[in-house]
Every structure is written in structure tokens, then in C-alpha cells.
Amino acid sequence: MTKQENALCILIGGLLLVAALSLTVIPGIRFSGFLALALAGVCVLTIFLGRWAKRSSVGKWCQRIFLAGLAVVLLLFLTVESLLLSHGEQDNSALPVDAVIVLGAGVNGETPSLILQSRINAAAAYIEKHPDVPVVLSGGQGTGEDISEAACMRRALWTNSEEWNARYLLEDRSTSTAENFAFSKELLQEQGIDTDTAVIAVVTSDFHCFRAHFIAQRAGLTVIDVPAEVDWLLLNANYYIREFFALGKTLIFD
């Protein structure tokens, strides 16, 4: 590496370190802070390999392998992000469906998080356009939550008890997206819906649509995406980046 390239790496690494220290203290986007810290480490490793490559043929090969790996990861990242964005920007509100599943997200005590509130807002708008289909509110109770995610959504969407008894189904056992669909599928089948042929609208965050769609299909459901967008751009960008790693975990381990 030339002196200019070294200086550029040092500058980028320093900026990433500052970003990491700033972002890790902001609730909701700590992931981006840790990622910035990891990228700062990549800059340090790039400088080390560049100096090693000048002194050793082994160092040159290690540098080439490292840079090739970075290029592959970057290409994969851009490809996946394009898929996430394409699913997150779909408008399927006019398509006919047989049921709706609203996926839960974090609850702060009894108050919906920004992510959950965006899903509630999207669900309310979608449900109003499709007044005659059953709705499953899906989400259990996690750490730091005084009520289940399903119960939190129910409070926010509450209209009257008669409508709830006739139309809305509460699924409050799930702790993952896979369980969201598995338990919601059971509830819909109990209501006489043939989940093998039914088309189901899934309301979830725009960044989560692609992975949720994949998990739903793996559960044997035919779904369309109903994206919910968060107005806070920094938070949404954080989750889009995090979703790249979450998708990898789903494909490899789940």
C-alpha cells in the first residue's frame, strides 16, 4: 500500500471509531455502532497486511485473499440489500387476501417501540381496506416487556369487543418469526381457513419483509408483503443493515 492509501485507511478507521463510540450509546441503533467498530478493525487489518505484503510473498498472498474476500462480501451485501429494498417497497394493498397476520416487535414496558408502532399504523390502514378478513396479532412477551406484543397491538387497534370476538385472533406465545407463522397458522386453521390454499397478508417492517416472506413460505403459507416504514431514517438504515446478518443466520442455522 502507498503512503496515501495508508493515510486514507487511518482516516476512515478513525471516523469509523468515532461513529462506533457515538452510535453504541443511542438506543435502537447500537448494532450500527458495533458494526462501525468491526469495520474500523478491518481498516487496521488492511494496513497491517499492506505492510506485511511489502516484506513477504506470504504477506502478498494473504493480502490478495483478504481483499478478494472483502470484494465477495461487498457484492453479496449489495445483492441482499437490493432484495430487501425491493420487497420493502412493494404495494400489495389492492390484492385480495383470505387473512392478515401482523408480526409483533419490541414493547417498552407496555408502550410499543418505534418499530412496533410503525407496524400498528400499517396494519390499521391495511385492515381498514380489507374489513372482512380475519386478523392474527402475533407476538409473545420478551425481556423488558410487561405485556405481550400481541396484547400491545390489540390495545392500539382496539375498536369494540364484538368485532374482536368475531374477527381478531391473539397469538401471544411466539418468540421468533418462525413461531409467529407456526402458531398463527394453527389459529387460522382453527377458524376453518385452509392455509394450504389461502393467501395471507403479512404486515411487518419494510426491512423484514424479505426474510418474513421466506420464513412464511417455509412454513407452508402463501403470503404477500405489507411493508411498514419507520420515519426515522437512521433507525431504518440500521435495521436494513442488520437484516443482512439476520438473513444469513436464518439461512444457515434456522
Output the tens digit of pLDDT for each of the chain's 254 residues. 677 777 777 788 788 788 878 877 777 788 888 998 999 999 899 989 988 998 899 999 999 999 999 999 999 999 999 999 999 999 898 899 999 999 999 999 999 999 999 999 999 999 989 988 999 999 999 988 999 999 999 989 876 555 555 678 999 999 999 999 999 999 999 999 999 999 999 999 999 999 999 999 999 999 999 999 988 887 888 999 999 999 999 998 87
Single-letter residue type at 192 = G
pLDDT at 240: 95
Sign of CA pseudo-dihedral 14, 18, 24, 27: negative
What's the pLDDT at 12? 81
Give 151: exposed, middle or buried? Use CB within 10 Å, 0-12, 13-18, 19+. buried
Q: What b/e sequence results for 95-118 when a residue is b if at least 16 CB atoms lie within 10 Å of its CB, and e otherwise?
A: eebbbbbbbbbbbeeeebbbbbbb
Decide: 180 and 174 in contact? Cβ < 8 Å.
yes
Strand-pairing partners, residue 169, are 136
pLDDT score for 23: 79
* 120 closest CA partner among 132, 109, 105, 134: 105
In the chain, what percentage of residues exceed pLDDT 70? 96
Contact status, residue 223 vs residue 201, Cβ threshold 8 Å = yes
Strand partners, 99: 200
Give the model's pLDDT for residue 166.
65
Quote the pLDDT of residue 67. 94
Whole-number pLDDT of residue 11: 80
Contacts of 155 (CB under 8 A, 6+ apart): 110
| CB 252, CB 211: distance < 8 Å | no
Query: What are the C-alpha distances in Å from 164 to residues 59, 141, 230?
Result: 67, 21, 27
- Is the Cβ–Cβ distance between 41 and 66 less than 8 Å? no
Contact 144, 109 (CB under 8 A): yes
The answer to whether 167 and 200 have CB atoms below 8 angstroms apart is no
Q: What's residue 253's pLDDT? A: 84
